[in-house]
Amino acid sequence: MTSIKNALAGLWSLVVGMGITGKYFTAPLVTVFYPRQEAENIETYRGHVELVGKEDEAGVPLCIACGQCARQCPSQCITVSAKVAPADPAESKDGKPAKPKRLKTPGVFQLDYNLCSLCGQCVQVCPVDSLRYSNNVYFAVFTRQETNIDLLERLERQAKEGK
Ligand code: SF4
Ligand code: SF4
């Protein structure tokens, strides 16, 4: 008697399970079969931050290398430093050599995405709107080192690819 009860319970469980499977099998898909298909709403995705280029020079960032974003980042994942122009010997005074000039454009701009919490502080504090969220939805790497992104190199590449 007990074995019949157990068999009926098992059968009922199977029917319930098949009912749930059938329900979701016939429901509209909410995901896509990547890489055969790509999602259509990628522009709404908030990926790692990236630099914004100048309108007339797409590969050159709007960034003035002020360092605000790096100072405000709670996770200390931004490393930025200004490009430095070599000293002009014509500007030397009283026998003292001229100093190299700090330019208002970055020479280094690295993002350690491994540490980033996507809090948006850097985007908010930038005085020239040179940072934004990327829609890099397919960002995938094999090593932790690869999460350290050279944002200058990325911007140049995007400009070349016309993105
Ligand atoms: S989003 Fe937040 S954690 Fe990420 S780089 Fe910007 S300030 Fe840092
Ligand atoms: S991205 Fe903006 S906040 Fe960061 S260094 Fe450049 S200008 Fe300053």
Q: What is the CATH number of the domain that holds 60?
A: 3.30.70.3270
What is the distance between the alpha carbons of residues 18 and 4, in angstroms, rounded to a whole number?
A: 21
Average pLDDT over residues 10-31: 93
User: What pLDDT was estimated at residue 26?
Assistant: 93
Q: If pLDDT is split at 50, 70 and 90, which confidence band does 93 have? A: confident
Q: Is the pLDDT of residue 65 over 80?
A: yes
Query: What pLDDT sits at residue 115?
Result: 95
**Overall pTM surpassing 0.85 (yes/no):** no
Is residue 32 situated within a structural domain? no
Find, among 23, 115, 24, the residue nearest to 73 by Cα: 115
Average the pLDDT over 48-72 and give the result.
96
Residue 58 has pLDDT above 80, yes or no: yes
Residue 144 placed within a domain: yes
Q: Does residue 35 lie in a domain region?
A: no
Q: What is the mean pLDDT of residues 72-99?
A: 89
Task: List the residue whose alpha carbon is closest to atom 6 of ligand 1.
Answer: 122
Chain centroid to CA 39: how far?
A: 18
For residue 123, what are the domain limits? 45-160
Residue closest via CA to ligand 1's atom 4 equals 116
SS3 53: strand
Residue 68 Cα: closest atom of ligand 2? 3
145 lies in some domain: yes
Q: Which of 91, 85, 86, 129 is nearest to 103 (CA)?
A: 85
pLDDT given at position 20: 96
Return the SS3 of 30.
coil
Domain count, the chain: 1
Is 131 a domain residue?
Answer: yes
Residue 20 lies in a domain: no
Mean pLDDT, the chain, rounded, equals 93
State mean pLDDT over 50-75.
96
Ligand 2 pocket member 63 (CB < 6 A): yes
Q: Is the confidence at residue 163, as pLDDT, over 80? A: no
Identify whether 55 is part of a domain.
Answer: yes
pLDDT at 89: 79
Question: Does residue 117 sit within a domain?
Answer: yes
Range 94-114 average pLDDT: 91
Pocket of ligand 1 (CB under 6 A): 49, 73-75, 77-78, 116-122
pLDDT score of 3 more than 80: yes
Is residue 47 within 8 Å of 131, Cβ to Cβ?
Answer: no
